[in-house]
Each structure stands twice: as C-alpha cells, then as structure tokens.
Structure 1
Amino acid sequence: MQTSGHPRVEIVVPVRNEEYDLGPNIRRLRAFLDSAFPFPAEVCIADNGSTDATWEIGALLVTELPGVRIVRIEEPGRGRALKQVWSSSEAEVLAYMDVDLSTNLNALLPLVAPLLAGHSDVAIGSRLARGSRVVRRPKREAISRGYNLLLRATLGTRFSDAQCGFKAIRRDVAVELLPLVEDTSWFFDTELLVLAERAGLRIHEVPVDWVDDLDSRVAIAKTVVEDLRGIARLSKNLGRGRIPLESVRQAFGRPPIADPRTALAARVLRFAGVGVVSTLAYILLYLALRHAMPAQVANVLALLITAIGNTALNRRVTFGVRGVENRTKHQLRGLVTFGIGWALTASALWLLHTAVAVPAHSVEIVVLTAANLAATIVRFSLFQAWVFDDEAPTFPTLEPPAVLDSTRSN
C-alpha cells in the first residue's frame, strides 16, 4: 500500500556501500508493501557514509518508486543513521531492516501490528525464539548465541536476540528512549533494548525465517570488541544510576522497578552462602575419597556429588524456584556447569602434579580451592543466564541530511 500523507509505518534501510543489493531489494520491499502489507508504509534509505554509487542508485529509486525516500548521513554508523531518521520521522511506528532482506518479509506485519494496536512498545525479530527457522553458518550461530547469553549474564536481559536486523518501535517511545542511547554503531540495537527493558517497556518478539547473507561484510572481531566495550559502559552507567530511566517509566505509566543492584546483591550473597557450604562439602568428600583412590578420580566424584547438591540448593535458595517442574532440566543444565568446574580443577591438578611429583594433600586442597573459586563466576553467570531461566530461548535446528522524497499517491 502506497503512502498518502504521513505513513503509519516507516521502514528505514541503513546502507553503506551497497550499490549491488540496493536496487533489487528496495524494489522487492516496495512491491511487498504495495501488495501484501495492509498499512500505509514508507521506505527510507539511510545512506551513512557510502563512497560507491549507493547514493546515486538510491536517488534513482526515489524517482522510480512512490513511497521511497533517501537520506544522506555523512558519517558511517548504523546506529547514527537510525537515530537521525527515527528522530525526525512522523510515522506512528518506526521500523528498520537490513538491506539484504535476510529476514522473510512475511514477519513484518506480526512485528508492527502489536505496536500499532498499542499492545507493545518495542518489537524485535528473533532468530533464537521457538518457531524461527534459520540458515546460518556455525561460526555466526555460535557467536550470536554466546553474545545473547553474555547479555543475560551481565545485564540480566530477558529478550532472546539483540542483533537481528529486524526491529520496530513506537514513535512516542522512540522520542523518550533515543536521547538516552549513546552508541552510534552496531551496539545501538542492544543498548536500545536494554534501556527499554529496564524502563519497564513491553518488548514483543517475533520468530523469523532468516537466511544468512554470505556476502556479509561485518568485521566480526571489531564488532565483538565494540560490543564488549558497550556492555562494560552500559553496565557501569546503569549501576551508577546515570541513565534517567525513571522519567521514561513515568511517561508511559510503568510502575517503578526495584533497583537491580539490590536484587543482584541479594542473589550474589545467597549464591555465595550456598557456595561456601558446597566447597566445605567438596573438601570433606575429597579428603574421604582421596584415601581410597587417585586424586583425579576423587576430584571428579567429589565434584559430581556436590554439584547435584549445589544445583538443588541454588534452585531453591538463590533463585527461588519451587516444585518439581523442570527440576530434571535444571539438574542437567547444572551438570554442564559441573563440567566447567571439573575442567578447571582437573587442569589445576594436572599442572600441580607436573610441577611437583608428590605434592602434599594440603597443597592439593589449596590449588583445588583456588580453581573452584575461579569457576564460581562462570557458574553464577550460567545459573543466572541459562540454568534456571525457563524463559531462555529454545534454539532452532541449524540448517545447511540531503533528502529526496518520492511523490506520494493514493
């Protein structure tokens, strides 16, 4: 459906040096909107710092296709482009998608409909939600899963997929949130979602069909470093109360949210208490078993027994999970953390026995205790992000300012 007056939905397509994909994919997107999308929608090509023929091709598309406009942002940065276009748009719902159209366009209506209805505030496409179908290289899949688990562990996030290039936000929400987002590059998505979640806003997730773009030019190593810096900066600013999210909650009538630092501190204290009990039990079991068997065998048995008890105690005491539902699943996930603890302590024992032929049992205890403490941070992060998180996503099976506006018409 072509636009008449202000569109209800504006879809921003950020591009930088995309002269080959831009033409065919914008035509495809515009054809879908005109034939299969029930709301007036406009497409905005946001050219951020292209040095090839992207701008010229986009300008030709504007003259060819009603309902398409192009904006030029001189500096590169996807976040910068989205922030500038969204901040000046008059559409009710602001969306964006990657120019490669990796996400099936049939997910667009489920993405924006809850926002137009006022049911949700932000909507995201998720490649990691139940019902999604994804074709992606194993390396990209592992990085994506690891990144979202890291967000759950460090920032306590609940959304499943931070970086899928398929998102939407209501304009009134964007007006409040965009000034608070600092990043202008790839971390922009994550920062926006974290702030929305911390402000008590409703994030709607849509499972998507998604096919990896084999010609993707994203510099993975550089992006990972930038994302880690973004996580550290955002964690620090949230922890010190530097981001005025209370005004956002008040603007949309959301109830105050308990200070996450207080909740996390209480959970860490409970986890530490369980850890002290588990460590004492491990030491006693190890000493009892060590008299009858080699050090590595005594270590693995003592770890296994205490891991089962540790998971059960943390389930009830630290994370407040009651009842038998999901108990087996929690124990199986807990055994994964046991595997990490075993790997660390086994490596520590191996190094000790390599350096000292027959070390005293007291030295073994000191080394193993240090190794267990090293594993504690990883264990707590996994407990919080995955083991007891029954809303964690079920992952799908892996299968092989110059502006030109078009003339709007009814």
Structure 2
Amino acid sequence: MLHLSILVFPFISLLIPCYNESSRCHLLIEGITQFQREWKGPFEVVVVNDGSSDNTLKILQDWKVRCGPSRQIQMITQQNTGKGGAIQRGIPYCKGDFILTLDADMSTSPEELNRWWVLYAGFKQDEILIGSRELKESIIREFPLRKWIGNWFNRIIRWITGLQFKDTQCGFKLYPNKLAQEIFTQLKTMGWAHDVEVLCRAKKMQMKVKEMPLHWQAVEGSKVVVWKDSFRMFKEVLQIQHMMKKENNSNSPK
C-alpha cells in the first residue's frame, strides 16, 4: 500500500450551500474545525448563503471574524435559487485543486475525505468521486421512511436516465476543479435534483465517476419535505432527461 508520507495532500475547496441553517450552523463550524485538525494539506471554505431569512448569514460572518485571516473563508450571498443554483454560484470562487461539495448539516463530515485519501491512495485529476449511502461498506444512520423513499427514488432515476449509480443524491462529492467548472457552467437544474443533471453531463462528457463508501448520519431539521419534494424531484428528473435527450439530438450528425 502506498504510504501517506509520499503523497502530497492537495489544496481542497470545501463548498457548502446554506439555506436557513441557523439552528445547525454549530455543526458546520464544528465540522470545519475538526477537518482543520485532520487534513494535512491546504484548504479553503466557500459558503454560499442561498437567500436565508434567518440568522445564518450573521452567525457565519461572526465565525469568519473569529477565525481571522489565518483561515481562508469566503462568504457569498445570493437570492434563493435552490441547492443546485447555490453550488453553481460558488464553483467559480473555488481555487482548490479539488472541490468538495457537502451539506451544511455535516451529515457527512469533511473528515471523510481523509478516509477516502487513504482508501484510494490519493485523488485523480480526471475522476469525480461521489459518496454513496447504498454501498455495503458505507455506515449509515437514516430515518427508515426516508431511506425507503430514497431507495425507490434512485431506482426510478436509474430507470429514467440510464445512470447506473446506486446513490445520485448524496451531497458529498469531490470534483477535480477543472471538471467541476466544465459541468456547472452548463447546469440548468437549480433545485434538489441538480445532482442527476451533474452526473448526466459527466456521462455525456465521458468523465470518470466512481462511487465511494462513507459515513452518513441523518440530522434533524432537514429542508426536504419527503413526499412533496420527492414528487418535485421526480418532475425535475423527467425534465432533465428530456433536456439531455434534446441536447444529444441537436448535437448528433444530420
């Protein structure tokens, strides 16, 4: 096995979309603090406040002031567009060799990156790594109903899009910077189903994508309303499939 000491830890951009997270900002702050202790390379934090109407922005701005200039933290504020739109907005601000997108509730801690680094003996500039809660090696604590709905949603996605991933919706994804820029400049889906479009575009551009095991824990206060948002995401997936098919037809030789 390749020893860690001969690997150069890359510069990582942690990209975190936030919407009304005031009750859970402490989880974000604790997660970043722990990551700073564990990660041996340079990193920055890019937070996109997606039009929060609570105290999310103030809490995170105060945290940035407490951290001082020693920690690279960028705060970006925009009107609410949705999770996909928030990530798309943050991508151009990321300067790291790799961009890690993750949820503000730290359902998967950024420390997971260290486990991936060891497991995979480094990261590749031509491959996207996506967390999968459905791999048998993953350690998951989930609410039973949401797990059941999530399983069926992923089956439907595979059936509609032809994507073969077991879990498209986990927010913990690691992109080489160049590939992220290529994908997200073309992103049209601003809501929760943006992950499906991201993976469809990666497939269209013949990018390598690998599912990775992870530790994931459901956190109280999720913004997803299971039945309502599942139906909305299903509609978005149909729209994505129609859009990608239309693009493929327009690009095919006449």
Distance in 2, matches of 1:63 and 1:86, equals 23
Deviation at 1:149, TM superposition (A): 0.8
**Corresponding position of 1:59:** 61
Distance in 2, matches of 1:20 and 1:36, equals 25
Distance in 2, matches of 1:245 and 1:39, equals 41
Contact between 2:31 and 2:109, CA under 8 Å: does it hold in 1?
Answer: no
Deviation at 1:209, TM superposition (A): 1.5
Contact between 1:87 and 1:174, CA under 8 Å: does it hold in 2?
Answer: no
**Corresponding position of 1:159:** 165
Deviation at 1:179, TM superposition (A): 2.4
Contact between 2:189 and 2:240, CA under 8 Å: does it hold in 1?
Answer: no
Contact between 1:16 and 1:76, CA under 8 Å: does it hold in 2?
Answer: no
Distance in 1, matches of 2:58 and 2:174, equals 27
Deviation at 1:211, TM superposition (A): 1.3
Contact between 1:181 and 1:191, CA under 8 Å: does it hold in 2?
Answer: yes
Matched, 1:197 2:200: no
The higher relative CO (CA closer than 8 Å, separation ≥ 6) is in 2
| Alignment match of 2:75 (pick from 70, 75, 93) | 70
* 1:113-262 → structure 2 map (5 Å cutoff): 117-118=123-124, 120-242=126-248
Deviation at 1:111, TM superposition (A): 4.6
Provide the secondary structure at the position in 1 that maps to 2:34.
Answer: helix
* 1:71-110 → structure 2 map (5 Å cutoff): 71-110=76-115
Deviations 1:89-141 (A, max 9, x none): 22211111111111144322355786974264211111101201111111101
Distance in 2, matches of 1:73 and 1:245, equals 33
Structural RMSD (CA): 2.5
Contact between 1:13 and 1:44, CA under 8 Å: does it hold in 2?
Answer: yes
**Corresponding position of 2:32:** 30
Higher strand share: 2
**Corresponding position of 2:24:** 21
Distance in 1, matches of 2:117 and 2:92, equals 18
Q: Normalising by structure 1, report the TM-score.
A: 0.54
Identity of aligned residues (%): 21
Deviations 1:183-235 (A, max 9, x none): 11101111101221232211122211211113223122332222222221222
Distance in 2, matches of 1:80 and 1:111, equals 27
Provide the secondary structure at the position in 2 that maps to 1:240.
Answer: helix
Provide the secondary structure at the position in 2 that maps to 1:70.
Answer: strand
Write the letter of the residue equivalent to 1:52.
D
Q: 1:106 to 1:112 in 2, by over 3 A?
A: same
Provide the secondary structure at the position in 1 that maps to 2:185.
Answer: helix
Provide the secondary structure at the position in 1 that maps to 2:216.
Answer: strand
**Corresponding position of 1:330:** none
**Corresponding position of 1:50:** 52
Distance in 2, matches of 1:225 and 1:54, equals 28
Number of equivalences: 240
Write the letter of the residue equivalent to 1:42.
E
Q: 1:116 to 1:67 in 2, by over 3 A?
A: farther
The runs of 5 or more residues in structure 1 that have no matched partner are 1-6, 247-410
Write the letter of the residue equivalent to 1:29.
G
The runs of 5 or more residues in structure 2 that have no matched partner are 1-9
Contact between 1:14 and 1:99, CA under 8 Å: does it hold in 2?
Answer: yes
Q: 1:31 to 1:209 in 2, by over 3 A?
A: same
Tell which structure's C-alpha radius of gyration is larger.
Answer: 1
Distance in 1, matches of 2:236 and 2:73, equals 33
Contact between 1:120 and 1:204, CA under 8 Å: does it hold in 2?
Answer: no
